[in-house]
Amino acid sequence: MNIAFQGDKGAFSEIMAIKFFPDADYIACKTFKDVFENVKTGKAKYGVIPIENSQTGRIVETTELLVSSNLNICGEGMLNILHCLITNKNNNLKNISKIYAHPETLTQCRNFLSKLNCELVSWYDGAAAAKIVKNNEKLGLIASQRVAKLYDLKILKSGIQDSKENTTRFFIISKKKASSNGKDKTTLVFSTKHQPGSLYRALNNFNNENINLTRLESMPIKNKPWEYLFLIDLQGHIDDEKLKNALKQLKKNTTSIKILGSYPIGKCYD
């Protein structure tokens, strides 16, 4: 079974893939779009994508790809993120003049990095930068402990993220839908008319069915300035009768609805 993830070996997405699918083969993809394409074409049965971080919030690119695709969310998992400043074995902090990291990582480590007099390089994946850093004593990277082990590098400092409670939520995507296990969540997006009380009426349908919403965010609609989609997570499966009733009523108060997937409630991994 092939599992696609964005990044190189040692990336946090690969770590999540291994946690979720411990006996699989893993396909490293340069971009998130490549992950979706691998699943869409059947080269990978599942894809693992980060969707939000407890510190920096929604990951825009993966959310937009998910909303525009025909793939389904079929699982979720949370991963505690420990960022490390890594360099080659002969280096020290004073020698480093340039640090490579994924854009999200740079944001999550802003406080630590602001104290260094280093050039920060936004790279598509911190793990992929290991090959560049390995033989250059003026370079460093921010990545996982696994990267240091895989590429025989030195960890100068671990836990450099701004928040010690730094967790990333991942979605598992597939062409197939997940069946209910009795402890499920559903993610969907919808839009409403520009009328007073339209969002209230839409959300009240879930209240009427005693359905708990666990996330609500607005997303700008591309090519439609100042118009928004509303992204929600709620407890329950699309096949649950009360959720079916709520969605039936929701259609009366919205201009569009798209179910992104129903999936078992995930757990957090270290």
Tell me which of 12, 20, 21, 170 is the catalytic residue.
170
Reported for 151-156, long-range contacts at CB under 8 A and 24+ positions apart, including other chains, are 151/10, 152/89, 153/86, 153/87, 153/88, 153/89, 154/86, 154/87, 154/88, 154/89, 154/91, 155/84, 155/85, 155/86, 156/84, 156/85, 156/86, 156/87, 156/91, 156/92, 156/93
Question: What pairing do the DSSP bridges indicate for beta strands 139-143 and 98-101?
Answer: parallel
For residue 115, the tally of other CB atoms under 10 A from its CB is: 7
230 is catalytic: no
254 is catalytic: no
Tell me which of 62, 63, 87, 168 is the catalytic residue.
168
> Which of these, 162, 111, 125, lies nearest to 50 by C-alpha position?
125
User: Active-site residues: which are they?
Assistant: 168, 170
